[in-house]
Structure 1
Amino acid sequence: MKNYHLSKHSSFYAIGLSYKKADAEVRGKFSLDVPKIDAITLDAKKEGAEGLMAISTCNRTELFGFAQHPFQLIQLLCKHTKGTVEEFQEVAYVYKNHDAFNHLFHVGTGLDSQILGDFEIISQIKQSFYRSKKHGMSNPFLERLCNSVIQASKRIKNETELSSGATSVAFASVKYILNTIPDISEKNILLFGTGKIGRNTCENLVKHTDNSHITLINRTKEKAEAVAGKFQLVVKDYGDLQTEIRKSDILVVATGAQLPTISKAVIHSKKPLLILDLSVPKNVHDDVMELDNVTLVHLDQLSQITDETLANRKAYIPKAHAIIDEVKTEFIKWLETRKFAPVINALKEKLMMMKEEELDFHSKKLTNFNQEQAELVSERIIQKITKQFANHLKKPEVDTDDSLALIQKVFQLEIDSK
């Protein structure tokens, strides 16, 4: 089994782009659905990569994995998306080793979310790791890292109020509707798409608008019925989309489609229509803005809405950082231990060999030689010696690589490179 510490030959990288520098259109070019994530993972496996995990949400697309150079991961992403290397490099970030797993901690705990403290991302990380493992592209390092990020996320939720109050993209969209549309309880709302953001938006609409005129449409009617049943809402067939748009005052689009599903061609009403596009890639074609009665608002505009809830959350950022540092310190300790474990094991084997030779020599030489007692004493001494070395290597001021090289040289240890 390979030793997955951060070796000199292969480094751990995070490459990606997010809402911070890439707008929805650019993010759309690099977005990954499940089949694409599977294809990237299997491609990396074929190329002999040691481990890879892909994350794609409406806010970001990122690859975390081992490579000799980050360009290998960048090429992999561009090969499986509509984006080019040049477009990627304009908005991208690349993190290596410590900075790479530090980035995953910040993403997974909501500190890097478009809306601070939005914890939707942690379930995406769990899903990404599951897919990676399913294809045999996880390893002990990735598994331990993801579990540490999940642990930090749970602690921040439990020990701080970073995610208190309803502030998420789904809530921001409802807040926008409440601020913009008068007499909301009288308006007809159509929700097209029942993915995660769609479901959350639906829940917020029911909770905050006191509106009984909400209709759901999804390509797969069963999914819409499952959501509607929970809130006792009306479900219509996909074929009724144009008719329902004609009746609507507000259209919320939250499908997972890779191409626009709503365009000028399907809108035939003359009354004012507010369209909220909560999808990446964009699911509403820009040509709808040619219609005088239509107002189009996208996810990126909604996420700029701030309120007191969000301001209150900022106070908990230092506490969240402290929790991340604690969990990360444990992870780094584990990583260092993995780094020197092969040398300590080889040292132990070498000392055991010396012990066997000595006991064999003395058992032949001494008449009343007590093999059992000699075994016991010498094994205890070996245990103490190896523990002494291990404790030395754990000290923060010690240069681990130099110490490991010295131990190998002094005891002439042969370490299996695997």
Structure 2
Amino acid sequence: MAAAAAKHHTFYAIGISYRKADAEMRGAFSLSPDAIDSLLVQAKAEGIPSLAVISTCNRTELYGFAQHPFQLIKLLCEHSNGTVEQFEKIAYVHKNEKANNHLFSVGTGLDSQILGDFEIIGQLKLAFKKSKSYQLINPYMERLINAVIQASKRIKTETDLSSGATSVSFASVQYILQNFEKNSSQRITLFGTGKIGRNTCENLIKHTENKEITLINRTKNKAELIAGKFDLVVKDYAQLEEQIAQSDILIVATGAQNPTVSKDLIFTNRPLLILDLSIPKNVNENVRELENVKLIHLDELSRITNRTLENRVHFIPQAEVIINDIHNEFKLWQESRRFAPTMSALKNKLALLKEAEIKGNRTKITDFNQEQADLIADKIIQKIAGHFANHLRDEEENMEEAIELLNKVFKLEQVVF
């Protein structure tokens, strides 16, 4: 029964991204690490054979095999704050080849909010690694993600699609550079030292001459590790309100599921720029009620264009050639994999017929030569199998019908990969 059911599983990519979902809606569908763990546990219990989940500031997506995409949509909505009705308005569902194409586009930075942002491939690697720890990655998806990783590496080394610094963290620094004099000294507070916070800190040090940067994190020792690397000041979480009052720029990247900064924390009349780099939003919209505060969210930062990003568009065709090259290799593997079980079963069937015929004629033929009989029969089996393999390759659209016919004619055992 399990094998028969597995035959009807289809590969899907479902999710929401910055293309149609604003920051608030992406926040509703975002998944915390614990939520992803719970989702994977439930998927395994429900018989989903293979599934990987990614949730970043720009997208939340599920890649996996299911009998119907609603199985995956239901899992996403049950473990996030999004609803099926909301999903239907802003989401996408890709199937089989289109799902493959989507994963290649995402993993190589072509579908990133900032073109050429290669942070996503690291996030995909971690997502697939986590699923593998739950034994939720089948050979198909493992081969597919390895192909995407290979394409990402080649694009990075063979084109200039990823030239220059990128990502939302870089865009935030670009915004600061464009809105403040380069040699002026702003007091900057970075609240949150996760991956985005760390990258922002590095970009601040690298691209500005500002040394007045203070780090605050709920877990102080994490902030201290980063501060030690760059010789920066660290303050306790309890000092956040006091530190905001002394700041010109507040960068928030806490990764919390609810806002961590609101107007109740701001007791200063001096101009304050707040950059919220988080999904869900970590800064309450009520800060806009304060005349001295300017709030910029990452969606606005991502729309910042500069010469580096504009130049990248010219390298898209080169990237697409590399993707097509590696994707075609994956397709060849995929095609051979589709009829490999049938060909294996056919060879076994022909081998059984050979053994039966040899056994039946061994005593009937004078001076019967077992070795020659085996050699000739094996060559015939290889030729027959080769003809059938070529036929299946040529069928393409009707391959499933051809496989079914072979199974019926030779009464082969149903084998499903």
For 1:379, give the aligned amino acid.
D
1:184 Cα shift?
5.2
The question of 1:349 aligning with 2:381 is answered no
Corresponding residue number in structure 2 for 1:18: 17
For 1:78-135, what per-residue CA distance to the aligned partner results, in whole angstroms no more than 9, with x for missing partners? 1111111111111111111111111111111101000001011101111110111111
Measured at CA, do residues 79 and 397 of structure 1 come closer, stay the same or move farther in structure 2, by a change above 3 Å?
closer
Corresponding residue number in structure 1 for 2:67: 68
For 2:355, give the aligned amino acid.
E
Corresponding residue number in structure 2 for 1:32: 31
The question of 1:106 aligning with 2:105 is answered yes
Corresponding residue number in structure 1 for 2:275: 276
For 1:135, give the aligned amino acid.
Y
Tell me, yes or no, if the aligned pair for 1:5 and 1:335 is still in contact at 8 Å: no
Corresponding residue number in structure 1 for 2:159: 160
Tell me, yes or no, if the aligned pair for 1:17 and 1:88 is still in contact at 8 Å: yes
Measured at CA, do residues 366 and 133 of structure 1 come closer, stay the same or move farther in structure 2, by a change above 3 Å?
same
Give me the whole-angstrom Cα distance separating, in 1, the residues matched to 2:416 and 2:139. 17
Q: Secondary structure in 2 aligned to 1:282?
A: coil
Measured at CA, do residues 3 and 109 of structure 1 come closer, stay the same or move farther in structure 2, by a change above 3 Å?
farther
Tell me, yes or no, if the aligned pair for 2:252 and 2:276 is still in contact at 8 Å: yes
Q: Which moved more, 1:405-414 or 1:355-364?
A: 405-414
For 1:355-398, what per-residue CA distance to the aligned partner results, in whole angstroms no more than 9, with x for missing partners? 11122123212342222332233223322322232233223767
Corresponding residue number in structure 2 for 1:249: 248
1:239 Cα shift?
1.6
Give me the whole-angstrom Cα distance separating, in 1, the residues matched to 2:337 and 2:396. 18
Give me the whole-angstrom Cα distance separating, in 2, the residues matched to 1:11 and 1:108. 21
Tell me, yes or no, if the aligned pair for 2:395 and 2:402 is still in contact at 8 Å: no
1:336 Cα shift?
1.5
Q: Which moved more, 1:359-368 or 1:314-323?
A: 359-368
Corresponding residue number in structure 2 for 1:373: 372
The question of 1:358 aligning with 2:357 is answered yes
1:6 Cα shift?
9.3
Tell me, yes or no, if the aligned pair for 1:5 and 1:339 is still in contact at 8 Å: no
Q: Percent identity?
A: 60
1:312 Cα shift?
0.8
Give me the whole-angstrom Cα distance separating, in 2, the residues matched to 1:263 and 1:207. 30
Corresponding residue number in structure 1 for 2:316: 317
1:194 Cα shift?
1.0
Give me the whole-angstrom Cα distance separating, in 1, the residues matched to 2:325 and 2:184. 47
Give me the whole-angstrom Cα distance separating, in 1, the residues matched to 2:79 and 2:49. 19
Corresponding residue number in structure 1 for 2:205: 206
Q: Normalising by the residue count of structure 1, what TM-score does the alignment of the two structures yield?
A: 0.95
Aligned length: 417
Q: Secondary structure in 1 aligned to 2:295?
A: strand
Give me the whole-angstrom Cα distance separating, in 1, the residues matched to 2:174 and 2:239. 28
Q: Secondary structure in 2 aligned to 1:133?
A: helix
Measured at CA, do residues 417 and 151 of structure 1 come closer, stay the same or move farther in structure 2, by a change above 3 Å?
closer
Q: Which moved more, 1:290-299 or 1:321-330?
A: 321-330
For 1:275, give the aligned amino acid.
I
Corresponding residue number in structure 2 for 1:128: 127
Give me the whole-angstrom Cα distance separating, in 1, the residues matched to 2:404 and 2:228. 65
Q: Normalising by the residue count of structure 2, what TM-score does the alignment of the two structures yield?
A: 0.95
Q: Secondary structure in 1 aligned to 2:11?
A: strand
For 1:293, give the aligned amino acid.
N
Tell me, yes or no, if the aligned pair for 2:182 and 2:209 is still in contact at 8 Å: no
Measured at CA, do residues 248 and 279 of structure 1 come closer, stay the same or move farther in structure 2, by a change above 3 Å?
same
Corresponding residue number in structure 2 for 1:306: 305
Tell me, yes or no, if the aligned pair for 2:39 and 2:75 is still in contact at 8 Å: yes
Tell me, yes or no, if the aligned pair for 2:341 and 2:416 is still in contact at 8 Å: no
